[in-house]
Structure 1
């Protein structure tokens, strides 16, 4: 029986996507025990996953302390894993992987021109370009496994698993219209649209569709969410008093919504893993080909400034200066007038 450890010390979306490593390793080693080491606030997207036997929770800030890192590494070593997979290849995860003592250590080779580092026995190159509808980020993670082990039919679709009790989540039962989850704020300012743009999108949806809008945001963004809500015209169609602070709570809430409209991020991957339609607004600073997954223009679609105004991404010196002086410069160019026609076409497919 193989003992396997996957280390994904990154954020929610990455943890969900990297769960495919466990899914595919179970196809190779069905009797294996697979442990998944993640930050404690991300576990909600992998609970109940049948490919993951144990979730090892770590604290992000604590792991950056050298004594804690070394203690964690030696705890891992004592468990005598046969295989360790490190899809993020961060300093902390590299140290844990190297000190694990595992005979098979798999990770990405971050710089092609440099010689392989000793952290891994298998240094895997990133794919040069995507070839599947799942997007490059997912394809790269599955590639970590298929580069080492022969898998006839790899799994490329992340899934979130719910218990029967969780399926009975009832906080939206009182609402008799479709509910649209709005991811109104990105995880960082660089992933968030200007507030007045967000308000215009919400107003467009609530004016033209007989639906409720439900806001999603991080707990520390509540004041910003309130500011956006105060500017909206149709507050009677906005559900503002239902909110889940935990990731698992959000999963249950999203599972009862009809679809998601959001800035690109973990919530989009969660909605897709729950088989919910998504409209994604990409930050101009994010590579769409890496993170846009399963887009068919119907169930899943997105918008990126590069597709609409490619000239803005020129290497012109004056243009670069504008971007450097104002990190939100490019996002301001992705106006509601550009987004709304594509959003309207998406919504008409689902509500008319």
Structure 2
């Protein structure tokens, strides 16, 4: 049996959807399980023992209708028995159609129901702690007779990666007898980035409470923005920040994060990857992001704060409807609103 899971786009989505492979492997131990993802997301699923093959969706294919059709036809040649389309957009609809699979599963959308044998309606509320992103993905396996299990995404580092990253930190004078925190200082875009002056206050509180060592998560092209946040921190705080100690690749970031006591900052890929590594997290949600969906496995070790938690009267419509108002809402999300929550987390 051959099964294909389709999950294009963002790193957090690809990581979260990887839970399906663990469930499928239990049900079909001898099946070939393949994963179709964007090429820039591969780092979070490397070494996953439940995934047999990666099929890469490149920018070239994404940006050309002719190449997309050719790519979709190539999937048909693989003769998959089952296709689970988690992405559920036009490009993945096309790939699913051309796959020729006898069983095609995706989320229910009015324009695509004819393309799939099973169209699963998303849950809109969840009483558990796993988050709707987990619940709805597991629902996609129900037509295969797989009961929902609250499987956590996992990232698989090698012993070499762990050893090399520890040596790297030691070479840069990190003291493993003291707390070490990774700060997710920047979100994936302006509308998912906590205001710089507020983030600086969060980092100040972190140092005041713990005297911990601080790493910033950023990539080289974001250095100026990260430095702006550092400059807004108190002088005492700045002495605790190892600004030039960061991962130059996603796998290096993951290996460094493995050694941290917690990841704190903007909700997004860094937070989700930390959870998949078993590292504690404190996530600051953008005002327009639905916390019920993406606050995965929230508990004392994984805390999420959202403006709606403190000022529910502002939310007269669903969170997504506030996307264009994100920056003005961020201004209302002052750090003192969740200061006690942060301090309790640090304790």
The aligned residue for residue 287 of structure 2 is 284
Counterparts in 2 of 1:137 and 1:153: CA distance versus 1, 3 Å: closer
Does 2:224 correspond to 1:199? no
Query: What TM-score does the superposition give when structure 1 sets the normalisation length?
Result: 0.91
Local SS of the residue matching 2:54: strand
Does 2:230 correspond to 1:229? yes
The aligned residue for residue 318 of structure 1 is none
1:311-337 superposed Cα distances (whole Å, 9 cap, x missing partner) = 12236xxxxx9x687540111111011
Question: Contact 2:263 / 2:274 at 8 angstroms: preserved in 1?
Answer: yes
Moved over 6 A (4+): none
Deviation at 1:58, TM superposition (A): 2.0
Local SS of the residue matching 2:247: coil
Partners of 1:159 and 1:334 lie apart in 2 by 31
The aligned residue for residue 332 of structure 2 is 333
Deviation at 1:265, TM superposition (A): 0.6
Does 2:305 correspond to 1:303? yes
Partners of 2:4 and 2:97 lie apart in 1 by 12
Which segments of 5 or more consecutive residues in structure 1 lack a partner in the other structure?
Answer: 316-320
Partners of 2:78 and 2:324 lie apart in 1 by 50
| 1:160 paired residue among 132, 155, 158 | 155
Partners of 2:243 and 2:27 lie apart in 1 by 46
| C-alpha RMSD of matched pairs (Å) | 1.9
| 1:272 paired residue among 259, 271, 275 | 275
Partners of 2:248 and 2:137 lie apart in 1 by 29
1:128-147 superposed Cα distances (whole Å, 9 cap, x missing partner) = 322432100111001101x2
Equivalent positions of 1:90-101 (< 5 A) are 90-101=89-100
Does 2:38 correspond to 1:39? yes
Partners of 1:91 and 1:137 lie apart in 2 by 20
1:15-49 superposed Cα distances (whole Å, 9 cap, x missing partner) = 00000111111111110111111111111111111
Query: What TM-score does the superposition give when structure 2 sets the normalisation length?
Result: 0.92
Deviation at 1:62, TM superposition (A): 3.4
Counterparts in 2 of 1:153 and 1:130: CA distance versus 1, 3 Å: closer
Partners of 1:154 and 1:235 lie apart in 2 by 44
Deviation at 1:60, TM superposition (A): 3.5
Local SS of the residue matching 1:271: helix
Partners of 1:336 and 1:128 lie apart in 2 by 29
Question: Contact 1:139 / 1:156 at 8 angstroms: preserved in 2?
Answer: no
Partners of 2:133 and 2:278 lie apart in 1 by 19
Question: Contact 1:133 / 1:295 at 8 angstroms: preserved in 2?
Answer: yes
Question: Contact 1:38 / 1:58 at 8 angstroms: preserved in 2?
Answer: yes
Counterparts in 2 of 1:82 and 1:218: CA distance versus 1, 3 Å: same
Partners of 1:288 and 1:153 lie apart in 2 by 21
Partners of 2:283 and 2:153 lie apart in 1 by 17
> How many aligned positions are there?
336
Partners of 1:132 and 1:314 lie apart in 2 by 24
Partners of 1:324 and 1:137 lie apart in 2 by 19
Greater alpha carbon shift after TM alignment, 82-91 vs 223-232: 223-232
Does 2:243 correspond to 1:240? yes
Deviation at 1:302, TM superposition (A): 1.4
Which segments of 5 or more consecutive residues in structure 2 lack a partner in the other structure?
Answer: none
